[in-house]
Structure 1
């Protein structure tokens, strides 16, 4: 232990951090972690199950509560599941001299270990049983290949501690409180923008001092006499900003800012990517903001901050500025832990640019000679360069990408990857997942709102929200993402890839539909319609990241699918027609005008079933309002309704009216009371069912 402590001190002087893998039983690994981290003065973060000796462990899925903090050591108990987002984010909280203790099963056995995190990548928990993890196979291989990683296997002696460079890491704050020239320049730029009321976005990987700069800037701005407010996704996130501000700095939660609208000259927003994009835009309209965040997708909105928010901020404030910090502040530039984590999670994945460009007027034969093929996870494991290229391509254009998506790509059993190549360079990629069919019992539970299994987005949503009775009986190949490299866009390559899928997918894999769900914009709706996809559902609420309403579209493969799709479209058209008579969001009008719709087609039997199962089970009021309105207009209640009940029922079934509005107008306690009233009123039309 004396040698270990001396080595740790030298590590701190060098400004470096290390990973120590404790591979063995969980009991053994916990005991070693407790002994190695036995320092009462050290700040330690323990993620995952802790031992029974008084050690407090933070659940791995709560890792975001640790963002913005600094720790001397990190214990990551991978026996509780290797959550890639948690690993990447937590590593960034370690300061110079810090040790990450990774507790895991024996390395040779780890890929076959029943990892609790695998449950996130399957539809039913039982599917994870016996499932091997290619992601962990790659992970273990990279650990063995990195000389900076210390590996201690149970039953083996403690690993030899490597000799460290005697050169110390120099880190001193200047008069402004900055640690390096890049921070000093950034602080000056932040102050200029704040005084000129120009919005600014400050981005960096973790450990670059973004939060510290917010605190330093806040102090200077307050000294200038400006009113400064600070916000973040939670009160713990901006701890570093508060610590580095020598003046009183007032924190206000984002929702409170929008509700109360306190006066401020400058609003500082820390961990901005963990705040929904629509909320960020609302704050940007109300205040002059300085946004600070990472762009690697650890936070709640993934890459939405970069791909969705920043372009809309440019429209809102064309003169906005952006700064990026790359010099580490928490550790030395020679630190080996950060590049290791980046390799493990493919955080620097970047696709090569193809030799195609719409501005270069490519020869048609260049596009004609593109190669289309399936890429298996075995191929990805065998060729890490290809994996990096494809994951980089997926990351490049989609706002929901996170490090966990790398694990999903390698471990999800129902995932398929179709790639368009120009020579050996990926030009476009489509990521698909198989959904449905489900058993009759599960289908009925989903329809009635009693069951909500993981995954199966299309059949579940079409059944429960879309009111399509038999949606869960079909098989879907859902296109989760389709991405074309920016240098090859506007050449029809995405459409060509879809046509290849339509030609090969259903023949090879079977199934009834190819489907998609996306944030509806006129451009995207037009793209999918031009490729033969037809709309069957439009969400009533906006996505928290994109700010768009979800659109679901289908392309039929099987004979049965071709028969039912026109009926589903007719039902969708009828419901959409009803919604447009109620409260209709202005932003949906361009989408509606782009849609090619079948004529409304209604069946009294379908409306009756929706009304009955809404009355006695747990179907959704907002989704069922059109069908319930049609039902009530044509049916006579078995038990009479009073004038007040009739008035309340009419209000409840007005398309687009939200339960909160009904509660306020009719003196009900809240959302649950409104839904309960709606069910009771609909029960007047039916005989109470005998089954539970």
Structure 2
């Protein structure tokens, strides 16, 4: 195939990549793809097919397993999109093509592709919607980008017509000079010989600081810039110098390059080392020195066996709570992708960098911009960034600096509105990226195509300052509700699902609601009431059309207070930590109708009935300030129905006549009553309320409570609790109970 030969020759001459689109009948496009790869003489070992059929004699993966290409490069990758187009698969596969290589996309005829509904579309059709309700906006935009960008050839496979040749006539690539080893470098000279760019050299040099304690390094880069390789070169040096290096990442495959580069580097050193790739590829030991070892994030956060250095690869994909735990290591480095499916680097900087700057560590920042796998003018990277909005950003700070609730406009943004204004789409998506720990290309498709999603925003002079993504939930048929209640998988409908399956309320799927999936305010104008202004407008718009507004998120004290201040009330606190946020998730609702109020009332009552029991068992490590905020956000005060004997037991504690452990139940009821709806909110100081949570509700041991709350001794902690019980007894007890209290003073 002549066009394939021309593309391949040009790609090799420029050290860039080219994209070949073969559109038409599935079998015809596969035959032409085989002919094209034969014509350019790319070995099967350097080729991967991603799609439903292994039609070439080479490596093959389904689109759902496209992550198998992470951290690897191939000369050719064929993405067969006839049965479905998963945006995440595009993001994962396009970056695996090396400079001089071809990315081949097989697709239905481009003119009709946006109207075709495929397997990915079916995943967007959450009940009560069907696949026929899914729009084709994402693919329509995707096709437009294919036609508009340089370096992309489009061939009608059925007729053999070349619609565009994709040739750009670039200048030949120039040899990249090897970086000069920096003067005064502390790592071995062989290290810098292996650096491929000046950026990589500078990153490795920054890692030298990790030889001392209380140091932190942050490396931010786009995909393919060699940040993981730089971390591997550093890890090899540190291990050779006797340090124990713990590496973590969302999955081991993300950190595999760290071990590969460390291994290659140590092979050039005059040292003995062991890495058993067959039985334990996740550990590398240097004889008589240190090691490089991997642990998953939840395990690594405990700093097992006391590592000297921790390297967190793809840090943006981890929740802030988890990242904070790594600050307890003697020295730590964070590498993260700025733009890409691995996680939003900008989100990492917004969420975590404040915590890092407030620590006692000296922080070294490095930014890597020069590609290693291909030339820095690569047109396929430019296309992928635009097609998947990997580089979407909020508006520049100065454009919205004067925003206030009085200056903004509330806008109902349809998919058509976003498609018609690329700048608006980029600002909306850029802000939504900041509202979540991990944003993927599929989120862009959901934004544009999912029939249950809507977007609302506040704009200032036409620029987006706050945005919310809403999902319609509920209104489910009896059959769907029964399926959900019996444990069947029903896509979407998170809030009805939780209330039905976990809390056994089959009727929870009847009322219709709008759940706030994500909400974000521009970092430059936070704390001005813009988030609340957006929620106020959303309620004004939807209150007459739905039964409830709801939200579920990883609970922090600040977030719970924000939602409570905006009228949302607690109905559930999960008993296991959310894998994404690392926090316990809370579900809150704001009723809009009688049916919504009934739903909130019964679940609020059930929550109060069970919360004391779960706090002493599965939630015994939930942060006390989270517990305080969640309880304060309930809509009703729990009942306080202590028997006379229980009141006598409570009244005896301040004077030492009785002890809490005799029967914790009445003390827990009293604590929940006060923390949920206090008669006098000033009766207890925050630390005293934390003591109530940790000792009375969570039943933690006295030494732990005293230490974590900063008491000088257990005895002081006990005396303080006695004083708290006395004040609460006088607030909530009948006159005879107070007389009982006075008997023991």
* TM-score, with structure 2 as normaliser: 0.74
CA separation of 1:572 and 1:44: change in aligned 2, threshold 3 A: same
CA distance in 2 between counterparts of 1:318 and 1:409 reads 39
CA separation of 1:556 and 1:170: change in aligned 2, threshold 3 A: same
CA distance in 2 between counterparts of 1:558 and 1:292 reads 48
CA distance in 2 between counterparts of 1:270 and 1:527 reads 32
Alignment of 1:154-553 (within 5 A): 154=157, 155-158=159-162, 160=165, 162=167, 164-174=169-179, 176-195=193-212, 198-245=215-262, 246-247=265-266, 248=273, 250=284, 252-255=293-296, 261-262=304-305, 264-273=307-316, 281-286=324-329, 288-299=331-342, 305-314=348-357, 318-353=361-396, 367-448=405-486, 450-507=487-544, 510-553=545-588
Shift of 1:216: 2.3
Shift of 1:71: 1.2
- Residue deviations 1:270-311, cap 9 Å, x none? 444556666555555346333333133523799775555554
User: Secondary structure of 1:244's partner?
Assistant: helix
- Residue deviations 1:550-596, cap 9 Å, x none? 11111111222234422321121111133234454354321232223
Shift of 1:171: 2.7
User: Secondary structure of 1:458's partner?
Assistant: helix
CA separation of 1:443 and 1:54: change in aligned 2, threshold 3 A: same
- Residue deviations 1:495-524, cap 9 Å, x none? 1221111111133xx221111111212211
Contact 1:13 1:97 in 2 (8 A): yes
Structure 1: give runs of 5+ residues left out of the alignment. Answer: 603-625, 627-654, 658-692
Alignment of 1:556-567 (within 5 A): 556-567=591-602
- Residue deviations 1:299-342, cap 9 Å, x none? 37997755555544555554333322011111111211111100
CA separation of 1:177 and 1:486: change in aligned 2, threshold 3 A: same
> Counterpart in 2 of 1:151?
154
CA distance in 2 between counterparts of 1:50 and 1:567 reads 51
CA separation of 1:492 and 1:72: change in aligned 2, threshold 3 A: same
> Counterpart in 2 of 1:108?
111
Q: Does 1:58 align with 2:61?
A: yes
Structure 2: give runs of 5+ residues left out of the alignment. Answer: 180-191, 267-272, 276-283, 285-291, 641-664, 666-696, 700-745
Q: Does 1:98 align with 2:101?
A: yes
Alignment of 1:593-604 (within 5 A): 593-594=628-629, 595-597=632-634, 598-600=636-638
Contact 2:125 2:133 in 1 (8 A): no
Shift of 1:2: 7.1
The structure with more radius of gyration: 2
Segment drifting more, 51-60 vs 1-10: 1-10
User: Secondary structure of 1:168's partner?
Assistant: coil
User: Secondary structure of 2:572's partner?
Assistant: strand
Segment drifting more, 325-334 vs 195-204: 195-204
CA distance in 2 between counterparts of 1:125 and 1:495 reads 30
CA separation of 1:121 and 1:140: change in aligned 2, threshold 3 A: same
Segment drifting more, 135-144 vs 464-473: 464-473
Which of the numbers 584, 589, 613 marks the counterpart of 1:554? 589
* TM-score, with structure 1 as normaliser: 0.79
CA distance in 2 between counterparts of 1:292 and 1:564 reads 45
CA distance in 1 between counterparts of 2:128 and 2:58 reads 29
CA distance in 1 between counterparts of 2:319 and 2:147 reads 39
CA separation of 1:147 and 1:176: change in aligned 2, threshold 3 A: closer
Segment drifting more, 156-165 vs 477-486: 156-165
Which of the numbers 109, 117, 122 marks the counterpart of 1:119? 122
Query: How many equivalent residue pairs?
Result: 599
CA separation of 1:577 and 1:264: change in aligned 2, threshold 3 A: closer
Segment drifting more, 15-24 vs 317-326: 317-326
Shift of 1:197: 5.6
User: Secondary structure of 2:608's partner?
Assistant: helix
Shift of 1:537: 0.9
Contact 1:77 1:102 in 2 (8 A): yes
CA distance in 2 between counterparts of 1:579 and 1:315 reads 34
- RMSD between aligned alpha carbons? 3.1
CA separation of 1:303 and 1:473: change in aligned 2, threshold 3 A: farther
- Residue deviations 1:25-47, cap 9 Å, x none? 22111122222223326512322
CA separation of 1:532 and 1:72: change in aligned 2, threshold 3 A: same
User: Secondary structure of 1:434's partner?
Assistant: strand
Contact 1:121 1:412 in 2 (8 A): yes
User: Secondary structure of 1:99's partner?
Assistant: strand
